[in-house]
Chains A and B, each alone.
Chain A
Amino acid sequence: MITYQLSIFAENKPGRLAAVTQVLAKEKINIRATTIATSDTFGVINLIVDNPQRAKDALTKAGMTVTLNRVLAVVIPDQPGGLDKLTQLLVSEEININNAYGFVLEGRRKAVFVVSVDQIEKAEKLLEKNGFQTLDAEALSAVEPFHHLK
């Protein structure tokens, strides 16, 4: 399954991330994961949220430069070699990873690895065939990280 990553163009200056989180807080959007890539004076904030389309609309309305990109949210075991299995599989089919980041779902058991790749349909099929679980926006919204700690 394919999900959506929210990317926001922002100047690298105080208050830009705060402006983004303020809008999302108001919209009651839950953030699952975030990465920021900067290039000197500007950068891109990438977010995995529970409702990407609603988040995009709210941020656009606030005047921000936002785009939704298709990514794969792959469930991997949270143990040594867990990520390696995934990356080896992708490289065996010559799929290039443009950006990637992860978050833990259940300590020592499950993690989600978000990958932005150059051939997303091919990657999706490949992962399915090899028994990887991929999450869509709805599934991401439903998962409760660290529920076992409650």
Chain B
Amino acid sequence: MYWEKEIETMDRGSLEKLQMARLGETLARVKNSVHYGKRFAELGLDTAKIRTLADLERLPLTTKEDLREQWPYGFLTCSRDEIIRMHSSSGTTGRATVIFHTANDIAAWTNLLARSMFMAGMRRSDVFQNMMTYGLFTGGLGFHYGAEEIGALVIPAGAGNSKRQIQLMQDFETTAIHIIPSYALHLSTVFTETGIDPRRDTKLKIAFLGAEPHSENMRRKIEDFYGFKGFNSYGLSEMNGPGMAFECPEQRGMHVWEDNYIIEVIDPLTLRPVPEGEEGELIATTLLREGMPILRYRTKDLTRIIPGPCPCGRTHRRIERITGRTDDMMILKGVNIFPIQIEKRLMEIPGVGVNFLIILERENYNDQMTVKVEVQRDFFGGDLQQLEILRRRIVEELKSDILITPRVDLVEQDSLPKSEGKAVRVIDNRKD
């Protein structure tokens, strides 16, 4: 039941010793990067003084803005010749943050995915259908490599094309899938329409649910429909992507692979650690990454560490499902979207007023974004066609940036909440 029993069940003392040893190596390495070289000098930081986990607080936090500022190579600790792969955060087509991996980095990441999938019960006899977008997004290739490492038969189906997905599941007797939870719900309607019952007509038994937060209720609903066991996972491209934290068969919190990461939970305002078990922002440090190690990364995700041991026997601590964000990032169909992206695009379009409102809804298990946009009084020329052209232009412009086709409603000027102060820009009406 363990992929690497010794590491997965290592006693806490040994595990922390291993973390400190690996942190030491990481600190020696990161000094070579432009970013940390500069930061350490500014802080007058003597890394030799970081001896215990309690000293961690002396290390600087790293933010997405830091990654942007040093884009693209300012975090590299080695020559570019050592790098064999890049990935980027999902969603943004502008200056997305990029992460570079050496061959050893890919191997370590692959091992974590294999460990995670093995923990959920996947074996070499399984047929794994990866229903995630391949490409820059980490979820596609990450899981692909992990499943191959286990020795399962991998079907790199990619995202979308529901009927073909179902066909593949039936033709090749898929037993495990990797799927976005909102898409799993949507796909259930396609199953129902075509009269195929996944419980009776497929061999599905394991689903890796990832790339977007979902509630326990939503998981149960998906499990009930398909008859498989659904496993939650957590990851972000800055920390490789999936494989950072994963549920075990207990399905009670996600084990963070602490031989690869140091995690902290801090108060996002004071930036001080919260008592164990309390909610705060998750901070993560890579321990095995060579090409682009990152110290104390602010994930902006809110969660808590679940105190106490897990009945599965693994000693790596568990985090709760993500309960929210410290910023206003939205996740729609697995794509990360910031309201500022939408604002920037809108403000470049003539005729668009200053206020807008984003409404997220779930209709027939399909997540939908509606953007209400004010039309400037002076722009209005009196005919409907002009407005329709504007509306279509906004749809196209937004789609090219956020990769999702929004619904755009034009509204009268001054009919939306004012943009000054803390205007509510996003209303999330998605329920289970």
Contacts and interface: CB of A to CB of B under 8 A. Distances in A.
B387 A39 contact: yes
Nearest to B386: A44
Contact of A11 (B377, B412, B414): B412
B411 A42 contact: yes
B383 A9 contact: no
B410 interface: yes
Given A9-B375, A9-B387, A39-B387, A65 B380 contact: yes
Contacts of A41: 409-410
The dominant DSSP class at the A interface is strand
Nearest to B415: A11
Given A41-B409, A44-B387, A67 B382 contact: yes
A43 B384 contact: yes
Interface residues of B, number: 17
Interface in B395-432: 409-415
A139 interface: no
Interface residues of A, number: 24
Contacts of A38: 384
Interface in A46-64: 46, 60, 63-64
A116 B384 CA distance: 13
B381 interface: yes
B69 interface: no
Given A9-B412, A10-B412, A63-B414, A69 B382 contact: yes
Nearest to B413: A65
Contacts of B25: none
B383 A11 contact: no
A47 to B, nearest CB: 11
B81 to A, nearest CB: 55
A3 to B, nearest CB: 14
Interface in A91-142: 98-99, 116
Interface of A: 5, 7, 9-11, 37-39, 41-44, 46, 60, 63-69, 98-99, 116
22 contacts: A7-B383, A9-B375, A9-B380, A9-B410, A11-B411, A11-B415, A37-B384, A39-B384, A39-B388, A43-B384, A44-B382, A44-B384, A46-B382, A63-B412, A65-B375, A65-B377, A65-B412, A66-B380, A67-B381, A67-B382, A69-B383, A99-B383
